[in-house]
Every structure is written in C-alpha cells, then in structure tokens.
Chain A
C-alpha cells in the first residue's frame, strides 16, 4: 500500500464532470505530502488529460478502451478494481453523482472496504480519512472513518468545493488492463435531459419577478433567460394581475412553495408572505434598487441596482 489519494475522473460525453476537478483541488488541499492521483477511464479517441492536468494532480493513471463508451456500472467497476487492487491507493474519492454513487459501491464490494456516501467535507486525522457526511436531510452530520481497511473510499457531493487551477509536473501512467464486457446488460443510448418541470414547484431554476421588474421589456427578457437556463419564470403576488401570469406562477404563502437549485429575484422586496415560499431554494440571488430591501437578508448574492440592467448583462453572458 502507498499513501496516494486517488480521484476518479468522471466524464460527461467528451467533457470532464466538474466535481472531479473540485475533488482534485480538495485532495491537494488536505494531502500534505500525499501524492494526488487522477484516475481516468476513457475511450481511445478521447483526451481529457490536458484539462485534468490544469488542476495539478501529481499523477494521472489512465485506462483507455473504446468499450468505455456506454459502459455499464459493472464494467467500469471491474476495470477500476484491476488498477486499484494492483496499485493500492490509500484513499479513493468519487463524485457523488449518480454514476459515482452507482460505480463506487460495486467497487467497494469487490475491495471489501468501507465507503462513505455524499460527503460534505473530508480531512486527515493521522492516516485516517475523516469523512463528514449529512444524515436525515442535512440537519445532522456524522464523521465516519474506515480505520482498518484500505483504500478509504468516499463519494463527495458535487459543488461542495471549488476547483482551482494549479501548475504541477504531472506524471502520466498508461495502465494496461483487460476490459471485461458484462453479458447481460447493454446501455442502449444516452439522451441529454431537457428541463421537464411542468410547474414552478419542481423547477430547478426560477427567475422570479416582482413589482420592481414589472414591465413588458423585463418580462420578455426574463422568459428568454429562463429558456437559456432551462428554468421557469415565477412572480410575486402583485404580478398575478398581469395578462400573462396567474396564481400558477405565484410564489409564496398563498402561491407555490419552490425549491430550485437557483433562484434569481428581480425587484422583489421580500415580504414574509413571499419569503416563506423560497426558504428551500439552494442558491438565492436578488436584485433590488433598495439596499435595505428585506429580500437581501434571505439571499446568498445581492446586487443593488436596476433589474433590467442586471437581466441584460445576464442574457449577454450566459451561454
């Protein structure tokens, strides 16, 4: 066994799934003198090494095989098992994406080691990787260790850490292994998900408009922005009197309770009746001309200024 921290690099089509890069940065932060190794499994024609390298792993271990295209969880776990059993890392981190949470436990079962799910933090206490994970929603945290068996495995929640580029001399190892196809399962196709929320309560992104953003120009821009972000437009109560909006779009006490990943409030003051409807939003950005507007107390990001201006800038800069 060595003292390396490995990070499984997940791919989305031709790109690197961002969590993997976040994990490389986090691993570097907690590593001390432990080498950080990126573990890449890709097809022959792919080349994500350049991207991964920018985040400064000490080493990249690369598994190449065309059958990684549409590989099953079992096939990926089998390939990883070969290299992990052989090179014996100390710790092995996966993004807690659906793929990570499906492959990691299969690998865990082969290695007969521990695996902690969906961690929000990790740190070393001696040689023990202390894995901090939420339970019962996020109200309670627990710290889990795997004292006697290696590797220490964890899946880590996406967007918990920030990926930061770093310059390092990265050693590249092309690892040879055998791809064992699984006979009884076939991945037929992959289709990108189109936003499918039918109503605002289920939307992942919500652009909310209040009385300070109540004009046709801004509303039209908001619809456009929602389209770009795959989200929906919601309103505070006063705007339900407008032609295009109804109670269905209303957020708040007597409207809908929403729980999007991202909520952007334009020209909303933040009355209690509105605020109770947005408590479960993950990230809240608010735009208001009044620096004292109560909505800012409930926001992660605040922009004091004009709704239209900010909306236009967003439309320009969002790809």
Chain B
C-alpha cells in the first residue's frame, strides 16, 4: 500500500502572543513540532503498513524550517519525506494549501491512501483534508476514530460525529482524517532519531509541480486575514438563578438548551 501522510508543523506552545505593534503572531523562538493529530495519522499509517506492507511518504507544505517536523515523522518510522517549499506558496489559505498538496500527490502517483490529522492545532480549520479529497475526486472519511483494513483495497472506518458513530466502508484510494482517539502515537526512539538524519528529504517547489500560478500562495487564496487580536479575557459572568428551585432549574435548562 502506498500511503501519503500530510503533516503540518505548528509552534510548540500553548500560549502564543501577539506583537502589539505589528499585530502579527510572535512565532520566533518557538520551536516547531508536528501537529499533534498528524502524529496520530502517522501512527495509523505505520500500523497499516505493518499489516499490508508498502511505503509511507510524509508530505508537508511550508518553509524550510518544516524539515524539523518531517524528520520527526521519519524518526517515527515513515520511509520518505517531501517538503513543498517556495516563496510562491507563502500566504496560502486552506484552498491554496490543499491545491498544492493535491498536485504533489498527483506527482507522487499511484497513492492508495492519504491521511491527514483531523485539524491543525493552530489555525484549526480541519479543511485541508476534505479539499484535497475533492480536488482529487476521492471519497473521504473525516474525523475517523478507528480504521480497519478489510482487504488490500477497502477500509472500514468509524467516524465520531457529534452524537453518533458512523460506520463507513470506503474503497481505496481514499482520504482519511484522523482523530486522536484512534491510537497512541509511538515515540521516536533515540536510535530512530539518529537514523532519521541519514534519510534524504526531497524538496519540491512550483517548478517541480504542474501548478497553476493563480491558484497557489496568496494569489490562490480567497480569504484575507483582516485583523488579529487578543480578546479581553472576560472572567466568568455569574448569573443568579431565581430563589425558587423549580423556577431556577427551568431557567437553567432553557438557557443551556439554547
């Protein structure tokens, strides 16, 4: 089975600050790590490879610093890694990001399975996976909490929706986005960390891909970030419920249900 896992590098911090002057996110000095859900996606790929054989290629679009997280994924056990890096890819929203990823997946060729994390922990949209599925005209199983190989060309997945679990059968090739409930990602061992530095990371820019220049980077991104701000931390506003227990409960339930 030929598996591609798309991974995004995110800042390793819970508290990201805004530069009060530029209104941009302060990202310098914050170390980059693999988006946590993407580790679950890599783990899922490793388990499938163990059952069905095949190869795992990591794919990421971003600046050269994303090498760090690609290496980390190699240390977890992926076979190879491709970084899509170019100034022209910069400023991409989800539509443009997914377009470039899709073109790269076409170039890799004969891919059976494309795995994503359910969403990134920074921008948090969860849109890239489904857009890639649409661009490549593939079926998708998003927010999957389990994945089983039926035969070499079919998977059964369970999707955890808001209050139902949906069982889905899907023929390969397909796109899956992975929830953290699916597995516990393995650790890179010290030895595998060393070995990951012996593997080559391929870098592709727009020159290696058959991309339409109007669909990549900022040019290909319909959304514009107008403003970034830190909302004032509103403490909890305590609302007093009526003195009579019956009325209090009625009001509470009405409020909570709306």
Contacts and interface: CB of A to CB of B under 8 A. Distances in A.
Contacts of B249: 310, 313-314, 316-317
Contacts of B121: 136
A317 B223 CA distance: 46
B125 to A, nearest CB: 4
Interface in B213-253: 221-231, 236-241, 243, 245-246, 248-250, 252-253
A118 B229 contact: no
Chain B contact residues (Cβ within 8 angstroms of A): what range?
35 or more
B258 to A, nearest CB: 4
Interface in A58-74: 72-74
B113 to A, nearest CB: 13
Contacts of A105: 94, 125-131, 134
B165 A193 contact: yes
B167 interface: yes
B208 interface: no
Contact of B131 (A12, A108, A137, A300): A108
Contacts of A239: none
6 contacts: A98-B159, A109-B130, A185-B141, A190-B165, A193-B165, A317-B249
SS of A interface (majority): mixed
A296 to B, nearest CB: 6
Given A105-B127, A135-B124, A144 B223 contact: yes
Nearest to A112: B95
Interface in B119-164: 121-131, 133-135, 138-143, 156, 159-164
Contacts of B184: none
Contacts of A187: 166-168
Interface in B94-129: 94-95, 98, 121-129
A280 interface: no
A73 B141 CA distance: 8
A243 interface: no
Contacts of A104: 127
Interface stretch (A29-37, A145-153, A249-257): A145-153
Chain A contact residues (Cβ within 8 angstroms of B): what range?
35 or more
A134 interface: yes
Interface of B: 14-16, 18, 25, 93-95, 98, 121-131, 133-135, 138-143, 156, 159-171, 174, 221-231, 236-241, 243, 245-246, 248-250, 252-253, 255-258
A304 B240 contact: yes
Contact of A317 (B160, B171, B253): B253
A54 B161 CA distance: 26
Contacts of B122: 135-136
A302 B240 contact: yes
A232 B98 CA distance: 41
Interface in A26-48: none
B144 to A, nearest CB: 11
B248 A313 contact: yes
B252 A74 contact: no
A193 B160 contact: yes
Nearest to A283: B256
Contacts of A179: none
A142 interface: yes
Contacts of B18: 140
A211 interface: no
Nearest to B237: A300
Nearest to A130: B226
A117 interface: yes
A98 B161 contact: yes
A298 B235 CA distance: 8
A189 B168 CA distance: 7
B239 A300 contact: yes
B214 to A, nearest CB: 11
A98 B241 contact: no
Interface in A105-133: 105-106, 108-110, 112-118, 130, 133
Contacts of B230: 139-141
A318 B162 CA distance: 20
A96 to B, nearest CB: 9
A230 B225 CA distance: 40
Q: Which of B129, B142, B222, B253 has most chain A Cβ within 10 Å?
A: B222
Nearest to B161: A98
A193 B224 contact: no
Contacts of B222: 112-114, 146, 148-149
